[in-house]
Amino acid sequence: MIELFAVRPQRGAVVHLHGPGYRPGVKTRSSDRVALCGAPVWPCSLDMPFDALLSPLADAVRWTSMAPSDTDPRPAWRWCRPCIGHALDLTGLVTEFLIAAAERQPQSTSSPP
């Protein structure tokens, strides 16, 4: 399985995911500095090493669970939805996700519109 890292946002509020060596498509740059969704991942400073942007997923989950407060009014960070889709596929969790999502759906006897 591919090793996944979270990319701390340099600007904005979106947390991307990075898998070393992963290329989301044939047109993706050959550089390894790209998120799972294809967005380029670059440090905001030339002095900052690329690895300084990457964090273990366990740490990143805490970033996105924090809501703005009086002491920290910044907007909450959110996960990149395309990166999550790629991560589910790469980790083999698509079926498990769909089962969990189906179980949370309200029960309905009618068919979709």
- Is residue 24 situated within a structural domain? yes
Apex 25 CA angle, 20 and 27, nearest 5 = 110
How confident is the model at residue 84, as a pLDDT? 96
Residue 112 lies in a domain: no
Q: How many domains does the chain have?
A: 1
Domain-located, residue 52? yes
pLDDT of residue 42: 76
> pLDDT, tens digit, for every residue of 52-97?
789 999 888 877 776 666 766 667 788 999 999 999 999 999 999 9
pTM for the model:
0.77
Q: How confident is the model at residue 10 (pLDDT cuts 50, 70, 90)?
A: confident
Query: Which domain covers residue 84, as residue numbers?
Result: 5-104
Return d(Cα 30, Cα 38) in angstroms, integer. 11
